[in-house]
Structure 1
Amino acid sequence: MSIAENQQAVLDELGLFQDWQERYEYVISLGKKLPPMDDALKTEDRLIKGCQSQVWLDATAEDGKVRYAADSDSVITKGMIALFVRVLDDQPADAILTADLGFIDQTGLKEHLAPTRANALNLMATQMKQRALELAGK
């Protein structure tokens, strides 16, 4: 599936829930389903700077596509990074670099999170694009 299709699938799933609490629980469940990240990858250089919680992000290139691994010490933050991994994982770097990640605004997450956590969404998106750019240059 393309990035746009992945984004629409996330929005469709979130649209099934009637209230913010249900959406919040869904995002947490996405984090719980995120494949475990090897502890050896949880290094300072993989931390997303500026997030209230610790969020680690790793990216590798496989068969011309970017593969992401991520983790957090906070369940909601782990769910938030899981949203981005779900949308961007296994996509070509050039598609990631040109992707409009405005879908995150359509999720309604930012309105229901503390400002520092809402800002973390922007930091995550930026870092995922940055890692794709680094891999594209190799």
Structure 2
Amino acid sequence: MLKMAQTAGTGTPDIDDIIENFSLLDDWDDRYRYVIELGRGLVPLPDADRTDANKVQGCTSQVWLATAVERGPDGPVLDFIGDSDAHIVRGLVAILLAMVSGRRASEILSADPIALFEKLGLREHLTPQRSNGFRSMVGRIRADAQAALAGA
């Protein structure tokens, strides 16, 4: 049975649950459906956040990431919401947000979403354009984390 405990604010399961759920799904058709289902569970992105400033460059599909920074005693904490016009990419956004949203900027910068992407077998089962788009999303999130640290 798939675990679905929610990551605060994103509408996605906790990243550890996502990893465990992937391990339970042997068939790639099931994994694709799961990724799409993760995307459907994302908190809707408000129209006001569908701006050029929030649009991720380098993605074939349209992808938006909005970042909120909260100053905490242990450094800035970043919360993300996102969306895409492509179902599978929306699911990739969900996986990425489950890994980074609600974390300190320093944790985000030390995390390795690309390694997780490969561990889940996504790179070998997606087009090179989708993989490059995922890297663009990671780059954007890291840039936001670096900017939050610089402004701390």
Q: TM-score, normalised by structure 1?
A: 0.90
Displacement, 1:82? 0.7
Match of 1:124 in 2: 137
Distance 1:7 1:30 in 2: 11
Distance 2:136 2:59 in 1: 7
The size of the alignment, in residue pairs, is 134
Match of 1:36 among 38, 41, 44: 44
Match of 2:146 in 1: 133
Q: Is the 8 A contact 1:59 1:132 kept in 2?
A: no
Match of 1:115 among 124, 128, 132: 128
Query: Which residues of structure 2 form unaligned runs of 5+?
Result: 1-6, 8-13
Match of 2:112 in 1: 100
Alignment of 1:8-23 (within 5 A): 8-23=16-31
SS at match of 1:125: helix
Q: How much is the aligned-residue C-alpha RMSD, in angstroms?
A: 1.5
1:71 aligns with 2:83: yes
Displacement, 1:100? 2.1
Summarize deviations over 1:36-80 as a string: whole Å, max 9, x none.
111111111111111110000011113531100101111111100
- State the percentage of identical aligned residues: 34
Query: Which residues of structure 1 form unaligned runs of 5+?
Result: none
Q: Which runs of 4+ in 1 moved over 6 A?
A: none
1:86 aligns with 2:94: no
Summarize deviations over 1:88-135 as a string: whole Å, max 9, x none.
110001110111221111111111111101111111111111111112
Displacement, 1:7? 4.5
Q: Is the 8 A contact 1:60 1:135 kept in 2?
A: no
With 57-66 and 83-92 compared, the bigger mean Cα shift is at 57-66
